[in-house]
Amino acid sequence: MQDAVTDAGNNVRALKAEKKDKAEIDAAIAKLKELKLELDTEIKAAMAAGDEAAAAKEQFRSKMNGALEQRLFYIPSFKIYGGVAGLYDYGPPGCAVKSNLQAFWRQHFVLNEAMLEVECPSVTPEVVLKASGHVEKFTDLMVNDVVTKDCFRADHLVEENLERMLADPMISADKRRELEDMLARLEEFTPEEMGDAITKLAIKAPETKNDLTAPYPFNLMFPTQIGPSGALQGYLRPETAQGIFVNFRDLLYYNGGKLPFAAAQIGQSFRNEIAPRAGLLRVREFTQAEIEHFVHPEQKDHSRFAEVADVMLSLFSRDAQLGAVKKPFPMTIGEAVEKGIVANQTLGYFIARTQTFLEKIGVNPERLRFRQHLQHEMAHYAEDCWDAEIECSYGWIECVGLADRSAFDLKAHSDKSKVELTAYERFAEPKMVETLVVEPNKKDMGKAFKKDAKAVTDALMALCQEDALALAAKVEADGKAELKIEGGSVEILPGMVKIAMETQKVSGRNFTPSVIEPSFGIGRIMYCMFEHSFYIRPEDEQKTVFRFSPIIAPIKCTIFPLVNDAGMNDLAGTISRVLATEGISSKLDTTAVSVGKRYARTDELGVPFAVTVDHRSLQDNTVTIRERDSCDQVRVAVDDVLPLIKKLCNLQATWEEATAGLEKQAAASD
């Protein structure tokens, strides 16, 4: 419609410039007015619909957050002291859900694929994070309100402004393109470019509308000192991955020297986010579950790829994001890898396994997509990166990052630590290859360097081919060459070391493996899962429910006696203890409130099953079991409660399958 108005306006101007007939110009003006009116109505309708949708989302969120807080799923930490932004405590049901989620993650990935699980400290010495690049580069651009000194993330301010401007249907196509381009490149902006954007868009501090400082990088790591002297600088780790990389050599040995293999770690990560927001979505301490799958750089096929090839995904590839339509498309992972949309089978395998994991824990597959990083979002060494994004009331949120990081991490730690982090590959047939030979003359070394002889030998052996040959050439040309060793340098003279390229028969080689990294944020996944599970019973808007999958539900079963009666209480207690023998958590509710109220209470916690002990139970040793979402009830013998609940909780059968043929029961009442 906007284009039609622009065309009509141009038409009026052209007719006037050509001094056309008045009637013709008047008709064109009338047409322009008519189109403008239509556009106006369209904009108002769109704004009203947008406002309504935003209000509905807000309402849904506040209702759900109310339920989460009231039932103590999670609450702001240190609440009695006013709380600290970006820090949350999990209460009993929150802890149980989180622990179930992590247990299922372990089962789905670690156990299913025989991964090597490790647990490393959160406090990490600086050298590790220097090697990984975090000390230098783990920054966000920050700006301050020049008066109040309040801090803001520069990219968030620019992003919000751009999105607001883009929501205006009246902006021209050229302007739209310019703003969209800015939005797409935002993450790679230098401080100067970000400053230019802030000036150009005339962005001020939110609320106060004061001027902002120039953007400057702020490192997100929490620094700390290790030990009382303060001499050893450390940081709280910003991700769990580094603990795995630094242990690569030992893990490879543990795995019998064989590739591929994966190591995994679940643990706390810490990021001093400038602007923590949106509940669990951006916090300052959070749980990550990370996998580092080490693989030969030229053999990235996966032996179990056939098992997942038919998994259907919603893919938002780079081309789809940059194309005119800008929409994800459905495709099996098999086809995506075959067509080269996803770089290789191993990355594809983990994308598909991530999809099945998220679906099983209760994420709605229609609100899940995999978005490929645009070229500028990827580190220069990365081969391909995809984010699992889940839609919630805050929009599409990155919950899992899946990246083929090539050999970067192992090479970086190998260079810094001087410990070789490589794997050995035996050739099918021995090969004749030109290799660098470095042979220090031990006698000369000892004589010349005495106690430093070992350090000199180590430094010579650590030289790369280029440096070794340059050193040899310099000794030959100048009669000496300087060699840097730990803590200083020495002079190498002719005869001290043989450095040459020689053709040798070799049966294998050392190489640095590539790593494919799926990185899960447990809190973000949990929050999105909460939103996808939450609903209000249509018949009563006071009744809220979490439709947690039995594997995730904080408590699997509530057990209550219909009325406060000693016999009923005893039987309820016995059933609870029997369930506990198989690790099935239950909650005994002997409060005297009505059954309806007790059901509502367990629904609010997302408990999938409820066992009611009633008068008949005392006569024929049967009880009723109710399923949360359908509110269906069946009557079963007490001895059958455990096998039935167990089958349902292990997802070995659906409610319909497990209860087919059982006596249906009308809803229990007091």
Binding site for ligand ATP (CB under 6 A): 239, 271, 273, 282-283, 286, 288, 398-401, 519, 521, 523-524
Cβ at position 613, least distance to ligand ATP in Å = 43
Q: Among residues 290 and 614, whose Cβ is nearest to ligand ATP? A: 290
- Looking at the DSSP bridge assignments, the partners of residue 500 are 437
Q: Which residue is nearest to ligand ATP (CB)?
A: 521
DSSP of 210-234: --BPPPEEEE-S-EEEESTTS-EEE
Q: Among residues 281 and 423, whose Cβ is nearest to ligand ATP? A: 281
Asked whether the beta carbons of 406 and 383 are under 8 A apart, the reply is yes
Q: Are strands 232-236 and 223-226 parallel, antiparallel or unpaired?
A: antiparallel
Q: Among residues 115 and 291, whose Cβ is nearest to ligand ATP? A: 291
Cβ at position 217, least distance to ligand ATP in Å = 15
Q: In sequence order, what are the residues at sequence separation of 6 or more whose Cβ sits closer than 8 angstroms to the Cβ of residue 181?
A: none
Encoded tokens for 128: 């590790």
Residue 395 DSSP label: E
Q: Among residues 248 and 520, whose Cβ is nearest to ligand ATP? A: 520
To the nearest 10 degrees (0 to 180), the angle between helices 92-105 and 345-360 is 150
Q: Among residues 361 and 400, whose Cβ is nearest to ligand ATP? A: 400
To the nearest 10 degrees (0 to 180), the angle between helices 173-185 and 154-166 is 160
* CA distance linking residue 524 with residue 390, whole number of Å: 9
* CA distance linking residue 410 with residue 513, whole number of Å: 8
Cβ at position 286, least distance to ligand ATP in Å = 4
Cβ at position 398, least distance to ligand ATP in Å = 5
Q: Among residues 521 and 554, whose Cβ is nearest to ligand ATP? A: 521
* CA distance linking residue 269 with residue 521, whole number of Å: 10
Q: Among residues 239 and 603, whose Cβ is nearest to ligand ATP? A: 239
Q: In 255-289, which ranges are continuous DSSP H helix?
A: none
Cβ at position 535, least distance to ligand ATP in Å = 24
Encoded tokens for 182: 């800015």
Cβ at position 349, least distance to ligand ATP in Å = 19
Cβ at position 130, least distance to ligand ATP in Å = 18
To the nearest 10 degrees (0 to 180), the angle between helices 191-200 and 154-166 is 40
Q: Are strands 514-521 and 395-404 parallel, antiparallel or unpaired?
A: antiparallel
Cβ at position 521, least distance to ligand ATP in Å = 2
Q: Among residues 187 and 452, whose Cβ is nearest to ligand ATP? A: 187
Length of the chain: 670
Q: In 418-553, which ranges are continuous DSSP H helix?
A: 442-449, 453-461, 465-478, 522-533
Q: Identity (one letter) of the amino acid at 554?
A: P
Q: Among residues 334 and 523, whose Cβ is nearest to ligand ATP? A: 523
Encoded tokens for 606: 């997302």
Q: Among residues 521 and 608, whose Cβ is nearest to ligand ATP? A: 521
DSSP of 298-329: T----TTHHHHTT-EEEEE-HHHHHSSS---E
Cβ at position 35, least distance to ligand ATP in Å = 42
Asked whether the beta carbons of 308 and 349 are under 8 A apart, the reply is yes
Cβ at position 288, least distance to ligand ATP in Å = 5
